[in-house]
A and B are shown apart, each in its own frame.
Chain A
């Protein structure tokens, strides 16, 4: 199963690199790598295509893992970064920045990812604190509070957006729908390093996630400090989705659907589920990215919309089947 997924990811990666105005053959790839290709071709691949494609792939991985962790901690299949209000928190700060900070005052390439990340963390933290009653956080309460926060924050965002010019409005709207806008090598490196660390932590706690999935009583009986483990894993999930949100905007569907697909493929044991989720996230986002850049070329459709359009019917099919 893993071989198939890795092969699929590799094929899509290559296809995605090739998707666009100028396609690149394997021969040319060899030339680029050995430094014999023309400057414009090298520039197209190294400075334009690769960062974009890698960002899409990494964002897919990060969101998928975040969803996987959240579904595990909350023992609820509907949990994803969107449902917990994490995206909405990021979206609000992004909209507020564009409304209140005059253009050019602060470099938006730096400010927006930072704000999006901060917004994600803040909402996750508030939701978690609110979900604690009598010293215990119930997953169900966490989800309900997340939904309420997401709805509330989104309406504030909409209110703010009413004051925007058409261009800014379109930018924020695109951001919320999920658009890879932060594709640059520094962002790719940041994502790659951050996600590698967070996914490694998640893998280290895979066996704890397995036990948490048996319910908090059984987990306690097996020696898990349920509250501390949930808080730690929640932080990992929020870190993953915050990073992705910072460069990929409010992509929602990926985090929900990828863990489901992965579970269908390899079962619920997190020790294999997390690696499978990583691959499914990469595959889905690469596929979505190809479509988003080629369907209406040279115009681009927000990749989040594409992911939702391919993901939703399949998800409905899965739900109807089970």
Chain B
């Protein structure tokens, strides 16, 4: 099936080149990116954006009021130390955690005004370390991705079957379709969940730490899959990730967080700097261009004195 036709061609934000976005950021002589708030020209064209969103309980603020935007048609990584609020930000943007202030806009529409099933037809979410009931097969899990498109008793239509086999195919799981999820390796399992998100047939996919607990080869496998989904299918992808070199290598856009606020945002070259490493992670870092990819790469680091 020609699945490309079901994804809209990238609109304004991605037509604007990354260089342009980056230039807007260079103009600001500050690590805290002023270009990512609502004064920025591309902000309103973002696939998903939060305006003045904050998250917290009683007197504890997990995320201070912030503006944040995920550029359309790009891969965005959210990085930061443990407890910095990066997963919370992703949850707030994906309506799985209530915000205390502000509003989230999905393709320009406030998500608070959209039915949750409608949001699910536009945005897929892969939670951190998801778990499937024992004995559930890969194909069944992937078919659950069709939930927001189904009606009535939920019999799968021809179109559902088509999209499910496409999702299995693109994640190279067709041979494992009838295998139980709990019998798969960690990397295969993560691909099965990604296939479920793909079956949801959305332009935007959010992933909370999709590479955590995977070995290096499986991390690469997952990220290359996400990259190809972005390049070949035009999907907008945002992920929370701990591995900085992989984030640098695979993302068009990076957001660095600390203590519940954004400290830097921009291209890998703009964000992966010794000063960001010091401010956000408290590390003195040696960063060089990766000889293979030219992306900034963390060569060595030590605790900042």
Q: A residues bordering B, Cβ < 8 Å?
A: 134-135, 203-204, 206-208, 210-211, 213-218, 220-225, 263, 267-269, 271, 322
Instruction: Count chain B CB atoms within 10 A of each CB in A220, A221, A223, A268 and give the residue with the most.
Output: A221
Contact with A along B153-172 (1 / 0, CB 8 A): 11000000000000000000
Please name the residue on chain A nearest to B117 by beta carbon. A223
| Interface size grouping (class) on chain B | 35 or more
Q: How close is B259's CB to chain A, nearest CB, in angstroms?
A: 23
8 more A-B residue pairs beyond the given contacts A214-B131, A215-B127, A224-B147, with a C-beta to C-beta distance below 8 A: A208-B147, A210-B147, A215-B131, A218-B130, A220-B116, A221-B94, A222-B148, A223-B119
Confirm or deny: B291 has a beta carbon within 8 angstroms of a beta carbon on chain A: no
Q: Within 8 Å CB of A225, what residues of B? A: 116
Cβ of B132 within 8 Å of any chain A Cβ, yes or no, is: yes
Q: Is the CB of B57 within 8 A of A134?
A: yes
Give B117-150 as 1s and 0s: 1 = Cβ < 8 Å from A's Cβ atoms.
1111101111100111111110011001101101
Q: Which of A204, A207, A214, A268 contacts B130 (CB 8 A)?
A: A214
For residue A291, give the distance in angstroms from its CB to the closest CB of chain B. 30
Contact A223 B57 (CB under 8 A): no
Rounded to whole angstroms, the CA-CA distance of A215 and B196 in the bound complex is: 14
The reply on B200 being an interface residue by CB < 8 A is yes
Which residues of chain B are near A217, meaning CB under 8 Å? 91, 96, 125, 127, 130
Q: How distant is the Cα of A1 from the Cα of B137 in the complex, in angstroms?
A: 18
Using CB atoms, name the residue of chain B closest to A204.
Answer: B153
Contact A221 B127 (CB under 8 A): yes
- By Cβ-Cβ distance, the 4 closest A-B pairs, closest first, are A223-B120, A221-B125, A207-B154, A223-B148
Q: Is the CB of B140 within 8 A of A269?
A: yes
- Chain B positions within 8 Å of A267 at CB level: 135-137, 140
Residue ID in chain B nearest A135 by CB atoms:
B98
Q: How far is the CA of A99 from the CA of B232 in the complex (A)?
A: 74
Question: When chains A and B are docked, how far (Å) is the Cα of A173 from the Cα of B118?
Answer: 52
Q: Which residues of chain B from 91 to 120 have any CB-CB distance to chain A below 8 Å in the complex?
A: 91, 94-96, 98, 116-120
Give A217's nearest chain B residue, CB to CB: B127
- Which interface residue of B116, B148, B200 has the most chain A CB atoms within 10 A? B116
> If the complex has contacts A214-B130, A217-B127, A221-B94, are A207 and B136 also in contact, measured as CB distance less than 8 A?
no
Contacts of A268 in B (CB 8 A): 133-136
Asked, given contacts A206-B154, A217-B96, A217-B127, whether A224 binds B116 with beta carbons under 8 Å apart, the answer is yes
Q: Are A221 and B126 in contact (CB under 8 A)?
A: yes
In the complex, the answer to whether B57 meets A221 with C-beta atoms within 8 Å is no
CB pair B130 A215 closer than 8 Å: yes
- Set of chain A residues within 8 Å of B153, measured between Cβ atoms: 203-204, 206-207, 271
**CB closest residue in chain B, given A228:** B116
The answer to whether A218 and B135 have CB atoms under 8 Å apart is: no
* Residue on B nearest A271 in the bound complex, by CB: B154
A218 and B147 contact, CB distance less than 8 A:
no
Q: Determine if B136 and A269 form an interchain contact, defined as CB atoms under 8 angstroms apart.
A: yes
CB B20 to nearest CB in A, in angstroms, measures: 32
Say whether, besides A214-B132, A221-B120, A222-B120, A207 and B125 are in contact (CB < 8 Å): no
Give Cα distance in the complex from A222 to B206, angstroms: 12
A220 in contact with B154 (CB, 8 Å): no
Q: With a CB–CB cut-off of 8 A, which chain A residues contact B137?
A: 267
Q: In the assembled complex, how far is the CB of residue A179 from the closest CB belonging to chain B, in whole angstroms?
A: 34
A267 to B178, CA, bound (A): 12
**Can you name 27 A-B pairs with beta carbons within 8 Å?**
A134-B57, A135-B98, A204-B152, A207-B150, A208-B147, A210-B147, A211-B144, A213-B133, A214-B141, A215-B127, A215-B130, A217-B91, A217-B96, A220-B94, A220-B95, A221-B127, A222-B120, A222-B148, A222-B200, A223-B117, A223-B121, A223-B148, A225-B116, A263-B135, A268-B134, A268-B135, A271-B153
B residues near A263, Cβ cutoff 8 Å: 135
